[in-house]
Structure 1
Amino acid sequence: MMSYHKSAYEFHEELKAQGVFFFFNGTLSQNLLKDIIRNIHCRKELEIATRTQLNRIISIVIELLQNVTFYSSEPAKYCDNKNFRDIGDGILMIGRRDDAFFISCGNPVERSKVDIIRSKVERLSSMNRSEIVQFYRGQLNEVRDEEGMGAGLGFIEIAKKSSRPLNITFDRVDEDRAYFSITSYV
């Protein structure tokens, strides 16, 4: 069997050619999320972003990484003050293509959730910005009435802050899992 290995430089150049200037792959924790946000604030590639764009990028990154943390089908063990707990494993890329910044995130999900996720995102993609805002307000009222969380508000928040419809894909991993990828543009 023939083995192929890309050097770190080849991988770096491939990402750069695609406009990616920030890349993370691995286990996510709240502390790491804070470090990622601090790093994004300091990126020279974002110096040309307006304040509004930067705030939207940060907000989208937070929503996407929280989604990975809570919903990845491959939880990893994270040691927090000598207490191990399950957290998510995923990937995050930020870049610039044409005249827009993009934020791409991915993580494994249970295949049983693919249709639910797809229908939520496709519904949002068919709406204009004012319809998304109105839908968001309605969902907030439902969450308050139910006194619960997880009503898909994260996807709505991302769609509100995006300049284009969200782009999603699902790649089959095995019988039980798919790899969910989502891209937002600002």
Structure 2
Amino acid sequence: MIKNDIYELYQTMERENILLSFKGVVTSELLSSVLSIMESKMDYMDESPKMKKKVFNVLVECLQNLYHHIDSNEEQDRSFTRIEVKSALFMIAKKDDHFVIRTGNYIDKASAIDLEERLDMINGMDKDELKKYYQEVLSNGTLSDKGTAGLGMIDIARKSGNKLEYQFLPINDVNSFFCLNIKID
């Protein structure tokens, strides 16, 4: 039966034109490898240099977000294995005239509430407001406990030129699964 399952997965990936997908623990070594693979793939695609740069830049931000922000707390550790909490999913697909990057990862519900507010605020801004907000956050100079300035989602929205589609799927009393869909055109 496994042959059938893997073939169905293959057909789905072909139908959806998935260029690259990954499920597992995100490490710095993985980031380097994925970026190298995508850089090679993009070199062979008949896309404008501008589009290649946009896709690559958004991908870098997405992977850095997964790497820096997949975290766990004690309650998450009790409800999942350590591997599950640190695990993420991402895929890059080429559609007719655009690319899509999708990511998914576990997040505790308190963090999900904060992130949802932030995403709604970002999605409510136009191009000029995003640029201004980016500059404000950058000049503020405050770093989170993870050593980031909170520019990732702002940068993704700016570079993709589109609203960020997202969803939080409740998993249990403590956790949600965060799904992010980014269209780049």
* TM-score by shorter chain over 0.5: yes
Aligned twin of 2:124: 126
Equivalences for residues 81-160 of structure 1 within 5 A: 88-142=86-140, 144=141, 146=142, 149-160=147-158
Equivalences for residues 16-27 of structure 1 within 5 A: 16-27=14-25
Contact preservation (8 Å) 1:172, 1:179:
yes
- Give the whole-Å Cα distance in 2 for the aligned partners of 1:26 and 1:114: 21
- Which stretch has the larger CA shift, 61-70 or 31-40? 61-70
Secondary structure of the equivalent of 2:162?
coil
Secondary structure of the equivalent of 1:42?
helix
| More strand, by proportion | 1
- Give the whole-Å Cα distance in 2 for the aligned partners of 1:124 and 1:71: 18
Q: Which has the higher contact order (CA 8 A, sep 6+)?
A: 2
Would you say 1:181 and 2:147 are equivalent positions? no
Contact preservation (8 Å) 1:19, 1:95:
yes
Q: Post-superposition shift, 1:64?
A: 1.4
Q: Post-superposition shift, 1:88?
A: 3.3
Post-superposition Cα deviations, 1:63-108, rounded to whole Å, max 9, x if no partner, equal 212222222245857xxxxxxxxx9320111012231101111110
| AA in 2 matched with 1:58 | F
Runs of 4 or more consecutive aligned structure 1 residues displaced over 6 Å after TM superposition: none
Aligned twin of 1:63: 61
Q: Post-superposition shift, 1:5?
A: 8.9
Identical residues among aligned pairs (%) = 20
Aligned twin of 1:47: 45
Equivalences for residues 73-88 of structure 1 within 5 A: 73=71, 76=82, 88=86
Aligned in 2, Cα 1:161/1:30: closer, same or farther, shift over 3 Å? Answer: same
- Give the whole-Å Cα distance in 1 for the aligned partners of 2:162 and 2:44: 19
Would you say how many aligned residue pairs link Structure 1 and Structure 2? 173
- Give the whole-Å Cα distance in 2 for the aligned partners of 1:6 and 1:178: 31
Aligned twin of 2:75: none
Aligned in 2, Cα 1:114/1:46: closer, same or farther, shift over 3 Å? Answer: farther
Q: Post-superposition shift, 1:150?
A: 3.3
Contact preservation (8 Å) 2:143, 2:149:
no
Would you say 1:11 and 2:3 are equivalent positions? no
Give 2:30's match in structure 1, choosing from 29, 32, 35: 32
Aligned in 2, Cα 1:44/1:124: closer, same or farther, shift over 3 Å? Answer: closer
Extract unaligned runs of 5+ from structure 1. Answer: 78-86
| AA in 2 matched with 1:59 | N
Contact preservation (8 Å) 1:73, 1:177:
no
- Give the whole-Å Cα distance in 1 for the aligned partners of 2:175 and 2:115: 13
| More helix, by proportion | 2
- Give the whole-Å Cα distance in 1 for the aligned partners of 2:180 and 2:59: 11
Extract unaligned runs of 5+ from structure 2. Answer: 73-80
Secondary structure of the equivalent of 1:63?
helix
| AA in 2 matched with 1:12 | Y
